[in-house]
Amino acid sequence: MRLVAASPNLPADPAARLLTIVRSLRRSADVDGDPLSATASSPCWAVNLFAVAEPALFGLSAHPLPFPGLVRRRLFRADRDPDRDDISELILDALYETLCDVARVPRAAAAFAGAFPVLREQSRLHSVWMLLFAYGSITPAQLARALPCTKAGAAKLLRQLAGQSFAVTHGRYEPYVCNLRFSVDY
């Protein structure tokens, strides 16, 4: 993937560049007569990983940004030939999702500050909230490994968030799920 993306022969235009990368990495023939099988072992994950880690290779950004799903597996299907419109649509979708994610984070932080105006200086509750908000759900055991703290301490922090309706759980052994959504309209 790195060799293909770093080739000096790639077009400068981000959509044309990404289309060239996808075409050079896709399988030319279907697998066992099934064109969908080629997508199972496609390098789609590698393209998306490089888009996040090294977006300059794609002509997208000089700095790493979270481009969720810049390319999709359907582009690697042997029975389809992706075109510039497919790639442009995916780039615009990824940039829109990135913009929405960036806009939601300050809203989540502001909601937390409004609900918990007075916390001790060493409180980890804000960190817990931001982790829960980012991942969408988390178990006390996962949180205990992330902080690090005890599982009981992690469960206590999650219960505090649940007490203010920031999180909800559907059972003792179920993960805590983020209960707040922030709409972004652009």
pLDDT at 139: 95
**Amino acid present at 90:** L
* Residues 59 and 14 sit within 8 Å (Cβ to Cβ): yes
**Residue located via tokens 């977006």:** 55
pLDDT at 47: 85
pLDDT at 36: 60
Q: CA–CA separation, 5 vs 96, rounded Å?
A: 23
pLDDT at 161: 96
CA distances from 159 to 2, 108, 156 (A): 45, 18, 5
CA distances from 149 to 62, 136, 143, 157 (A): 37, 20, 8, 11
* Residues 29 and 76 sit within 8 Å (Cβ to Cβ): no
What domains sit in the chain, N to C, each tagged with a CATH number? 2-97 (no CATH), 122-178 (1.10.10.10)
pLDDT digits (tens, 9 = 90+) for 9-53: 889 888 888 888 888 887 655 555 565 665 666 788 888 888 888
pLDDT at 50: 84
Please tell me what DSSP assigns to residue 175: P
State whether the Cα torsion 44-52-137-114 is positive or negative.
negative
Residues β-bridged to residue 168: 177
pLDDT at 39: 62
**Residue located via tokens 């999650």:** 158
Name residues of the chain where pLDDT drops below 50. Answer: none
pLDDT at 96: 87
